[in-house]
Amino acid sequence: MAIYSSGSVDAQRLLFRYSTFGDLSALVSDYFDTRTGAKTSAASYTAIAAAMKAAPGDVCFFSDVVRELDPAREAGMETRLVVRAGNTPVEDAHKHRTIHSFDETE
């Protein structure tokens, strides 16, 4: 699993190391932030796949933001729109498959 966040890589590492569920950092192989590129640019997702030594088609990108999912799909990634309690409902999922929990992943 890799994380792509608007927050810095250092902040991501701290978040996963000191989560309310304990140290989850062993579950994360790579961290990416906007130094990789804009989250709305397909080139960013292509760069992430390359850094992970994976073909974009072998990567599934999860987000609760459609404007991030669209360029990930454009780069060739599978996508999942995460519907979370408390978030503003998404009116148009742009045909991204929706999930409510990681239990729904394959």
Residue type (1 letter), 73: R
- Contact yes or no for 83/100 (Cβ under 8 A): yes
Residue type (1 letter), 93: A
73-82: average pLDDT:
97
pLDDT band at 1 (very low <50, low <70, confident <90, very high): very high
Strands 60-63 and 30-32 turn out to be: unpaired
Name the pTM for this structure. Answer: 0.90
pLDDT higher than threshold 90 for residue 92 = no
Tokens of 71: 């360029």
For 86, phi and psi rounded to 5 degrees?
Answer: 95, -20
